[in-house]
Amino acid sequence: MSNTCRLRITRDHYDLLIKHLFPGDRDEHGAVLLAGLSSVKDRPTLLVREVHPAREGLDYVAGQIGYRALTPSFIHRMITRGRDEQLVYLAVHNHASDQEVGFSRIDLQSHERGYPALLQIARGTPVGALVFGRRSIEADLWLPVGKRLSLDKAVVIGNSIVHLTPTPRENAAVAMTHDRQVRMFGKAGQTRLRECRVGVIGLGGMGSLIAEYLARLGVGHFHLVDSDSVEESNLSRIVGASREDAVQKTAKVIVAQRLIRQANQGAEVDLIVDDVAKESVAKALTSCDYLFLAADSMRARLVVNAMVHQYLIPGVQVGSKIRFDPQRGLLDVMSANRRLRPGLGCLMCNQLIDATQLAKEAKTDEERRAQAYGVEEPNPSVITLNAVAAAHAVNDFLLDYLALRPENGHFYYEQFNFLKDARTLVEPRMDKDCSECSRSGLRFGRGDAVPLPCVEG
């Protein structure tokens, strides 16, 4: 197991916490976070579900040993709530620092006095502490097995995605290959891309373009998911596919891997020739920093949408649609780029996951025929339409993941209607009682504590 942990927190929760910790008085303040837990890749990731500011003079008071402390009654209320909700208890306070922060000797001694007892109350769930500077975070996470972990990094997820560490990190050397783009976002941005782990679900006409764009940007780690092989009808759209691939029925993920390696020899590529709706496949993707959903099934939308909100992973759903009527001709030609953020942009809230289609996808061709569903003809698809959505999705990833544009509070889906020559921004709806994305719902920030909507496997 790694000696470090990670933390993910949404922008609204982070802003609430920072406003409480740094109100402008240059004093110390306290809070408790309750977080879900993800344990993929032997490195625990804390997923903040609840923020509980400690009230001055009531929950956060003068300490008997240290400067200030949470009161026993507040600690007990929070630790028992965490235990009952299967959430990790994290005590929080701030120091008057900026880009570098750490626990004091008195802080660590207080953990050593109190955290063994808190572990007993938590009954198998980790407990820990966070200390915040204005642009830095450190952790002291206590595991039930007796190990303590510091923080690798924290990620603040909003429109833009901000990365915070205990101390500033040195930027690695940059190859001449990326010289022109480094002139835009610097060595720090290129290093962040190289460290980034992306999941691309669906490596057909849309996903193959996304994979190539990301590889040429210098993204360092790929999880490629697609259960299909190349067919002759794919050759007009799948970048990098050859007629030999169609004859040999080469897996689409292998074609994408070949394309990635041509652009970025140092990239790590994990091939998953399977369905994202299988639990083992979906769980493998929870270690990703960003998800690109380029598959067109409702089941894939259901699972990826759940992963975004349950594991606090930012992502995007992309697609294109052509409607043609033999009598009336082209009715609709469009591409869509829908950013997905935890607590925002829920595909379920926006009726983009169709229950009837989900039921159809769960049946075999024989079952669909027997129940008069029929077996649908393949949808029309054109590479230029795919390229529009793919380019906008990767461009948003670049600008958001590297925090190159400011957090402006506006969040939209993007649609291109080519017959009307129009670009439309649609503000996604958010149902306050949604089980998938609401703060009080089934999934938000729960991590491994609840199952994903997957099939077995």
**Class of the CATH-defined domain 4-164:** alpha beta
Averaged pLDDT, groups of 10, the chain, 457 residues long? 92 97 96 95 91 97 89 97 97 96 96 96 96 98 95 96 94 83 92 96 96 97 97 94 96 97 95 96 96 95 97 96 87 94 92 88 60 61 94 97 87 94 94 91 95 86
pLDDT on residue 373 = 47
- Give me the count of residues in the chain: 457
**Cβ contact 366:441 at 8 Å:** no
pLDDT on residue 296 = 85
Looking at domain 176-426, its CATH architecture is 3-Layer(aba) Sandwich (3.40)
Indicate the domain borders of the chain: 4-164, 176-426
pLDDT on residue 235 = 94
pLDDT on residue 96 = 93
| pTM attached to this predicted model | 0.94
